[in-house]
Amino acid sequence: MSYSIVEFPCTKECEAVPSEWVTDNKDACWWPPYRQLSRLKKSIANREAPVHSSWTLSDARVLGTAGAISMCLNLACVYFASKTLVLGTASVTDEMCSYVGCYIILQ
């Protein structure tokens, strides 16, 4: 069982999700309907099975996989920071990466 780092092109967001949420051809990802961050984090950590009748299937691009969610989350954070730097944004704040528990200091 692995986790995938997926980028959602329409929102420019990157997230670590259970690999079972990613379609077989790796071009879309199921996303739960939860509005509360705590509920979303729980569904990811518990590897909740997608409910196709209530979850959204969104275009996505798999950037990589890892066996442990902690490694995948840290890689997602680093990817986010590198994309932000490429786009020329002034800085990445702790709050942007607090969900994954990593902190980036840019000089």
Q: What is the mean pLDDT of each run of 10 residues along the chain (107 residues)?
A: 84 86 95 90 92 95 79 66 48 41 33
d(Cα 80, Cα 78) in Å, to the nearest integer?
Answer: 5
Query: In this predicted structure, what is the pLDDT of residue 6?
Result: 86
User: What number of CA atoms fall less than 13 Å from residue 89's CA on the CB side?
Assistant: 12
d(Cα 102, Cα 88) in Å, to the nearest integer?
Answer: 21
Query: In this predicted structure, what is the pLDDT of residue 29?
Result: 96
Coil, strand or helix: which one is 45?
Answer: helix
Query: In this predicted structure, what is the pLDDT of residue 104?
Result: 33
Cα first-last separation, the chain: 37
